[in-house]
Structure 1
């Protein structure tokens, strides 16, 4: 915790701060691109894939270029494949820049769900409906830090029973005041 009363934890794309009145999600472009490359190299679909539309288009163009290269004359699909790859990586960068900073008012948070390693903040959207912001903690320790930070802010946690960072005192204690 910092002097301003903010808890934070690391995610695969940046840092999340749980402040007294809001949740601040800060994503970094370089880290996001590295995580996408690692995910693809290990054969997994990157978590940022659900937020990146142009990367999917770029990947499809790249696949088309590879298909042209294999079926057509040598060299015909190289330019198309290179254009597709450039579009895919540019899509990741643009998406990361657009989503570089997100702020969610704490009073709008309905609950925080822990699903398959992700932390999903369910909050009210601007139109009054429910919106979800998915966060991927970098490690089990960061996941525990997230559970503790949200619990100490009084947010309803769902699926965090195995989070070791949430002590029984913090979970079960009634609302108390800080004695100075």
Structure 2
């Protein structure tokens, strides 16, 4: 189950990754690639450990019991009567379950519109964020900031956190 704390933490990790990614822009290419790859790997590990360690169901953290490989142990005792013979359940043909190969799968107009709007919003956000990043970086250079990429990283990290948080909070609210 999602929680509000987990949603805020995930948004903070996203903001941190964005900030590290932007701050690496002032490094030479080899160091920039190395730092960005290290940030992605580190934050991915933190997120996966967090999801495993803070799961809501403690049974998910315990190893599942192993089955015995010895068939004599797992088989029923010899004194029990054999199971009644019955016919296997009817299984529909694969083509009947999935529809014929000639018939296309039904796609609703609503799902197409929502998917298209989501793609357009994502592309618009990426383009707008990149333009804003260039504008802020140019202004920081123009004003003579000693470390413009670091200042830009803080701004972009906070912007990423602020943009990611509402969507994650809405998901938590909807799941409850």
Common fold: TM-score over 0.5 = no
Higher share of residues assigned strand? 1
Higher Cα Rg: structure 1 or 2? 2
Higher share of residues assigned helix? 2
Give the structure-1-normalised TM-score. Answer: 0.26
More relative contact order, 1 or 2 (CA 8 Å, 6+ apart): 2
